[in-house]
Amino acid sequence: MNKKRVLLGMSGGVDSSTAAVLLKEQGYEVIAITMKLLDKEFSDEDAKKVCEYLNIPHYTVDYTEEFNKNVIDDFCNCYANCKTPNPCIECNKYLKFGLMYEKAKELGCNFIATGHYAKTEFSELYNKCVIKKAESIKKDQSYVLWSIPKDVVDKVLFPLADYTDKIEIRKIAENYNLPVANKKDSQDICFIPDGNYKKFLEENSDIKPVKGNIVNSKGEILGKHNGLYYYTIGQRKGLGISNPVPLFVLGFNKEKNEVIVGEEKELYKKELLVEDVNILLFDEIKEPLGVMTKTRYSAREFASTIYPTEDNSKIKVVFDEPQRAITPGQSAVFYIDDVLVRRRKNCVGSVK
């Protein structure tokens, strides 16, 4: 078996197509897989064109059932429970670094690769393969990779890790005359191409618009809402409330069907609990550890200390400075010197 055989996730976009070129340049035997995740809006035509042009084997595998169960159902359940999900994280966990890794083993591949902007490398300090930020902080996608199983990290390749600008990637694609060199980037959630998540929820789940009260932290009624899933923590626009001081969504009372609002200063919290722990650098956290924590994909990370709970099922995060709009359903991702320590999904809630 070729010890440099790799299964590449091939969407047919410029990133994954350029990743195929770079892997071939590095001497890998590349096999490509396109995962069919949706019954609608699916085409593997571009992926097949690229693979035929590069003379690499290509497979299309139907994972719509698994995608519906692990990604779409989770997306709907989060909104039904007043959480704001990140479906890319679930897709990475179950599909791209779960089922795709199993398929790689079936095909005799030693590695899997994707077009993510992140890096894997062996660390002498930790004596293991680690996930690090990409060279381009602007493009870095390490935040959405926290759920990769620990035993898979050293089998993952990110060919785009050292590129700092999408212009560089397109230039490589153009130099190789790839048929997708000028293809537009996909910006939306793949299963909601029009960006209308409210319509998607109403058509694909039991969630329906149910009017209720908008209240302040004292329980005083200030207005009406059309459905809890219309809002997320930190939101200001769309409340329809006239108030001398701007108001923001602070949280929800699902039992009373209430949206809770308040002034911006009330959005800031210094502590939170997180669950669904995946520690990548250590077997477990036994004592307080100083890290940088990021609570949203587009947010900066901030200095903090993390503490294990008694049964290690959750971790408490204490920030050096209060943080704005910590949101249940999002992930708290921890770094030490740009190395992923662990990540956790679903902020349980702010403690203080």
Q: What is the DSSP code string of 288-313?
A: -EEEEEE-STTSPPEEEEEEE-TTSS
Q: Are 21 and 27 in contact (CB under 8 A)?
A: no
Max Cα distance, the chain (Å): 70
190 in catalytic set: yes
Q: For residue 11, what are the CA distances in angstroms to 22, 35, 44, 52, 166?
A: 16, 8, 7, 14, 17
Q: Which residue has the tokens 């969504």?
A: 249
Q: Are 331 and 344 in contact (CB under 8 A)?
A: yes
347 in catalytic set: no
The rounded distance, in Å, linking the Cα atoms of 105 and 98 is 11
Q: Which residue has the tokens 């089998």?
A: 155
In the set 51, 76, 91, 347, the catalytic residue is: 91
Identify any residues that bridge with 292 across adjacent strands, giving them in sequence order.
Answer: 303, 335
Q: Cite the active site residues.
A: 91, 190
